[in-house]
Chain A
Amino acid sequence: EAGVAQSPRYKIIEKRQSVAFWCNPISGHATLYWYQQILGQGPKLLIQFQNNGVVDDSQLPKDRFSAERLKGVDSTLKIQPAKLEDSAVYLCASSLASGVEQYFGPGTRLTVT
């Protein structure tokens, strides 16, 4: 079974630029999560989708971050404009509906200079 795929793996941008990350969850997984992991900390949830609907986006900085999952499969996370403090690893995870285990992708490491 293929795991959660993410791209790109690494991205370096200057502050105030825009960036987008892509995630392809495990086939059949209805729930998709985006987490932000700042160096030295644990992951923090940004947004959770159930199929193509948003379940929880309370921690998403909506003035600069946006995410979508239009067809209930792939998802994109966008940052516009980026700030220095957005430097982090962005992890995508997926799970079966009502599943306990979340399966994580390898992450995208973003460096904002």
Chain B
Amino acid sequence: GEDVEQSLFLSVREGDSSVINCTYTDSSSTYLYWYKQEPGAGLQLLTYIFSNMDMKQDQRLTVLLNKKDKHLSLRIADTQTGDSAIYFCAESWERDDKIIFGKGTRLHILP
């Protein structure tokens, strides 16, 4: 079945690292994504990882994939106030296929 689960809220102090976790149920998913949604804005793709990879790093972002446990995480180093948003974990089977989204994790930055 299609299901993506993630915690709803996360509070982090400015300058600390944020780690947002996600689990998915479909082992045939090929692409796993992290999208960011700021208030009143559409979704912005932050990064994605192929299912045959276990890690991807892009500047302050690190994605870890544990395919055996169907667990995906997004680490944001040196969290800034501009990182305050809702982060969606998502999966798809093929390129240009529909994307199955989780409910999103609201990241709150503490001063």
Do A and B associate with each other?
Answer: yes
* Chain A positions near chain B (C-beta within 8 angstroms): 4, 31, 33, 40-45, 48, 50, 56, 91, 93, 95-107
- In the assembly, what is the distance between CA of A10 and CA of B43, in Å? 17
Contacting pair A102 B99 (CB below 8 A): yes
Stretch at the interface among B12-20, B56-64, B68-76, B90-98: B90-98
* Number of chain B interface residues as a range: 10 to 19
Residues of B within 8 A of A45 (CB): 98-99
- In the assembly, what is the distance between CA of A93 and CA of B43, in Å? 9
Contacting pair A102 B4 (CB below 8 A): no
Question: Which of B40, B96, B103 is most buried by chain A, counting CB atoms within 10 A of its CB?
Answer: B96
Q: Sample 7 A-B pairs with CB under 8 A, ordered by A number.
A: A42-B102, A98-B95, A98-B96, A100-B95, A102-B45, A106-B40, A107-B42
The yes or no answer to B44 lying at the interface (CB within 8 A) is yes
- In the assembly, what is the distance between CA of A93 and CA of B96, in Å? 11
Instruction: Output the nearest chain A residue to B98 by Cβ-Cβ distance.
Output: A45
* Chain B positions near chain A (C-beta within 8 angstroms): 4, 31, 40-45, 48, 88, 90, 95-96, 98-99, 101-104
Instruction: Output the nearest chain B residue to A41 by Cβ-Cβ distance.
Output: B103
A42-B4, A42-B90, A42-B104 are contacts. A33–B42 as well, Cβ < 8 Å? no
CB distance from B104 to the nearest CB of A (A): 6
Residues of B within 8 A of A56 (CB): 98
CB distance from B58 to the nearest CB of A (A): 14
